[in-house]
Structure 1
Amino acid sequence: MLHSKRSSLFLRTACATLFLTSACSPASGSSDEQGDATAAASSPLLISGVSFKTVLGGRYVGAQNNGGGAVIATATSAQAWEKFTIDDINGGALESGDSIFITAGTGQYFQAANGGGSSLNAASWNRQGWETFRIVKQSGSGVIANGDVVGLQTVTTGNWVSAENGGGGTVFAYGGAFGDWERLTISGLSGGTTPPPTTPPQTRVVGYLPNWYGSYASWVGRVDFSKLTHVNLAFALGDANGRLQLAPSSDLATFVNAAHAKGVKVFPSLCGGGGDGQITPFYQPGKVDAFVDHIIDFVVSNNMDGIDVDVEAPDRMGAVYDTFIAKLIAKARPRGFPVTAAVSQWMQYGMSDTTLRSFDFITIMSYDNAGTWTGAGEHSSYQQAVTALSYYVNKGVARDRIVLGVPFYGYCWGNCGNGQSSSYVLYKDILAKFPSAANADWISANGAQYSYNGLATMRSKATLAKQYGGIMIWELAGDLSTSSDQSLLRAIDGSLR
């Protein structure tokens, strides 16, 4: 995905000459679910059909109206209202001490308002502190099994979920200790498993392919699927009603079928730098639910495998964006669809850390540190990549869910041709002008300066990315054929093997 600072320039040049101009909006490389998983042990654990019964009183905890209202403990049998989905943030097996989210049938989260001190409800669309609980076994530690007695403790205040008198009425979140009213017998875990990986157990290689270089069907013979795990098709934007537009369905089907035949996952990538005008209006209150449904429908109808979110407008994100992502994950994850995001330090203030950590994986746009909006400089150095990776580790994102973005393009300053004093240039076009450019990251010639990544830097970044969750490419169209020993994708593949 392209950095929004350079979006308008690129949109003018790309969209003026290429079809599908309504979908043009650059994005910089984006965003385990499990659809992109590395080690299953660190993947999110999703368990559906879980019930809790009070030890004292023998009443099942239920979400009134299957969500949207109070949590009660009145039922003597476990019906729909009394069955929940646990999303274990820690992954692996469900163990005593793990932090979890609990959702009712509507997809709404259990919430201890103000962190506890009042009645519990199942009416939240957020994944913030008030919705986070710690599940604790009454005795012992380790894996939790059916029949174990557990307690649910609010993470923010340490209060315990309490069914007063053992049940018969409203459930509260102000228990001061793990006592009789707080003891719950858990059941329904037999069907709970870590969602199986939907990609091979290999390092992720995520490539973006924009829709302004011709039909996706025309790329089937040019994309080397054997060296990729995911392709993100860029960019899906909303029409006047918030329904996604990307490419004709027959065109998408040809590409998706070819990718699937090679074991490669295909995601639509939403928004892109500069495309926020056709995405952000639809995740506002009153429109967000329908928009999430449109996204899921688009993925299902086009036989795709997940959703990449590349909103690069931090001033148009905030709480409404956090709610949007929570609702999208709530609808996508039970269907096995990962939700990923393209992120960068410059825009990170636009989302909460809880939302950041909720994605199945993130792709760091570690490029555009210089561009047409600046003077000449390194736009994507190795050291900048190291700094970006460390930033997201310090944000609490698991290393194997952090994917490093790399550029298959560069920037020119000075005598860039066609009367331009600065421009965005594909790697293959730099090589066309300077055949030895693959052996460097910087060129000064004929009154022009170019910053990009050559083969040596790309190999070093791939080796670095292997220590994390993989590597992402903006954009596949910038490379030579992998039959060439100057191909960046070929260099990446060789370093990952």
Structure 2
Amino acid sequence: MPAAGSSALLTSGVSFKTVRAGRFVGAQNNGGGAVIATATVAQAWEKFTLDDINGGALESGDTVFIQAGTGQYFQAANGGGSTLNAASYNRLGWETFRIVKKSGTGAIVNGDIVGLQTTTTGHWVSAENGGGGTVYAYGGALGDWEQLTISGLPTTMRPRVVGYLPNWYGSYASWVSKVDFSKLTHINLAFALGDANGQLQLAPASDIATFVNAAHAQGVKVFPSLCGGGGDSRITPFYQPDKVDAFVDHIINYVVTHNLDGIDVDVEAPDRMGALYDTFIARLIAKARPRGLPVTAAVAPWMQYGMSDTTLRSFDFITIMSYDNAGTWTGPGEHSSYAQAQEALTFYANKGVARDRMVLGVPFYGYCWGNCGNGQTSAYILYKDILAKFPTASGADWINSNGAQYSYNGLATMRAKATLGKQYGGIMIWELAGDLATTSDQSLLRAIDGSVR
């Protein structure tokens, strides 16, 4: 279980069994010497503490330390290429490994087949002949000798709480002290757009690094979100057959260079998607999955005709935008009710999306119609700004006052939606800047956290 005061996943009693010969990986003498794969039963030498330095849930692609009972770590001397030992007290390059699922991405659970890859040279931990002797770190690929079945992980996982954070409210570094990372599992940085050559543009590298380091320190994964509503003209040109492969390479390189944890795709232009979009997603996933990078998508029933059901079901998870059912382009109405959330989840269940891959989107904003101020007859308005006008607004979802009508989600509806989302794949938030600080009992994120724990 997680250590007290730590946001990283620190799990004791983890075992690895070779797939080919069914032998457990062990640290001889419980640490201090060679790593072997001879035992047919997992006892003390074959049980380890797994330290996931990315924090949060253990997911494919995370970087880990593996600690034997003596407190010494697995070490690939010279970063890989020779035998493996469990004789190091360091936490440096030679001791760090990526844990990668054989197939798929996302959370790693008991019974999954995984590989351990050195982070410095890219070699895979390998039990020669599938077990029976010494373990090496010289595998060139995740082949038969390198496949391990993992066990001993916790059987319950925290529901996803995914928050979008746009880049138009100031630098990401400035948000490090404002975001309550303890109440989130993922943050999507919005929005990454392609330049004329398909290179992603989001924020200065140093700004992203400051934010990502702070998020990782508290166990939160960070994805760039591609495109965004209205940004399709900066992405869709690169779906063309002569550009798509280079574009996918640019995306992967950007994610790896900036130490990001996956890729979110937020394309909301169904008439400009179709077969080219399907190909783009297939190639993006094909390049991302071997690196343990999840690919997710923001979706909504109204835009679903733009992608095939096969593509829809290929994402590691989807975030369902169950909001904007009314807005500045309509008359007054509920833009994000509980009933609408239920309908959206049912829609995607009927599309064959697995229950735990459906993340329910909720709004930290609302809409105004009528006397909205500054001569406006309709407006998009953040939740915190609604509260600034109406201090008791958190107790309702609708306000009718002084010739203006407001639709939003108050605390009761947000708690109900969070409870609903917990029964699926979690909750997604557009967007974090709309909330009060979580020190306030009117904070929507605080309400979500209290309902999903």
| TM-score normalised by L of structure 2 | 0.69
Q: Is the 8 A contact 1:39 1:201 kept in 2?
A: no
- State the match for 1:436 in structure 2: 392
Q: How does 1:485-496 map to 2 (within 5 A)?
A: 485-496=441-452
1:332 correspondence with 2:288: yes
1:410 correspondence with 2:410: no
Q: Distance in 1 between matches of 2:265 and 2:314?
A: 13
SS in 2 for 1:424: strand
Specify whether residues 425 and 193 from structure 1 end up closer, same or farther in structure 2 by C-alpha distance, changes over 3 A only: farther
Q: Distance in 2 between matches of 1:390 and 1:36?
A: 32
Q: Which of 301, 306, 309 is the aligned partner of 1:353? A: 309
Aligned-partner residue type, residue 379 of structure 2: S
Q: Distance in 2 between matches of 1:190 and 1:257?
A: 31
* Ranges in structure 1 where 5+ consecutive residues have no aligned partner: 1-34, 44-84, 96-145, 147-186
Q: Kindly state the Cα deviation for residue 189 of structure 1 after the two structures are TM-superposed.
A: 7.4
1:270 correspondence with 2:226: yes
Q: Distance in 1 between matches of 2:242 and 2:373?
A: 48
Q: Distance in 2 between matches of 1:94 and 1:466?
A: 23
1:288 correspondence with 2:244: yes
Q: Distance in 2 between matches of 1:86 and 1:456?
A: 42
Q: Is the 8 A contact 1:459 1:495 kept in 2?
A: yes
Query: Structure with the greater relative contact order (CA < 8 A, sep ≥ 6): 1 or 2?
Result: 1
Q: Is the 8 A contact 1:88 1:94 kept in 2?
A: no
Specify whether residues 446 and 291 from structure 1 end up closer, same or farther in structure 2 by C-alpha distance, changes over 3 A only: same
- State the match for 1:472 in structure 2: 428
- State the match for 1:344 in structure 2: 300
Q: How does 1:62-73 map to 2 (within 5 A)?
A: none
Q: Kindly state the Cα deviation for residue 269 of structure 1 after the two structures are TM-superposed.
A: 0.1
- State the match for 2:24 in structure 1: none
Which stretches of structure 1, 4 residues or more, deviate above 4 A after TM superposition?
35-40, 85-89, 91-95, 192-197
Q: Distance in 1 between matches of 2:230 and 2:413?
A: 29
Cα deviation, 1:119-154, whole Å, max 9, x if unaligned, reads xxxxxxxxxxxxxxxxxxxxxxxxxxx9xxxxxxxx
Q: Which of 260, 270, 276 is the aligned partner of 1:314? A: 270
1:260 correspondence with 2:216: yes
SS in 2 for 1:366: coil
Cα deviation, 1:283-322, whole Å, max 9, x if unaligned, reads 2110000000000011011110000000000011111111
Q: Kindly state the Cα deviation for residue 496 of structure 1 after the two structures are TM-superposed.
A: 1.0
Q: Distance in 1 between matches of 2:341 and 2:259?
A: 34
Q: Distance in 2 between matches of 1:467 and 1:270?
A: 27
Q: Is the 8 A contact 2:112 2:149 kept in 1?
A: no
Q: Kindly state the Cα deviation for residue 192 of structure 1 after the two structures are TM-superposed.
A: 5.9
Q: How does 1:176-255 map to 2 (within 5 A)?
A: 188=144, 191=147, 201-255=157-211
Specify whether residues 216 and 37 from structure 1 end up closer, same or farther in structure 2 by C-alpha distance, changes over 3 A only: closer
* Identical aligned residues as a percent: 78
Specify whether residues 286 and 476 from structure 1 end up closer, same or farther in structure 2 by C-alpha distance, changes over 3 A only: same
SS in 2 for 1:472: strand
- State the match for 1:370 in structure 2: 326
SS in 1 for 2:345: helix
- State the match for 1:448 in structure 2: 404
Q: Is the 8 A contact 2:317 2:359 kept in 1?
A: yes
Q: Distance in 2 between matches of 1:395 and 1:445?
A: 41
Q: Is the 8 A contact 1:38 1:203 kept in 2?
A: no
Q: Is the 8 A contact 1:282 1:291 kept in 2?
A: yes
Q: Distance in 2 between matches of 1:454 and 1:242?
A: 40
Q: How does 1:111-126 map to 2 (within 5 A)?
A: none
Q: Is the 8 A contact 1:266 1:304 kept in 2?
A: yes
RMSD: 2.7
SS in 2 for 1:425: strand
Aligned-partner residue type, residue 394 of structure 2: A
Q: Is the 8 A contact 2:55 2:218 kept in 1?
A: no
Q: Distance in 1 between matches of 2:332 and 2:168?
A: 27
Q: Distance in 2 between matches of 1:388 and 1:425?
A: 23
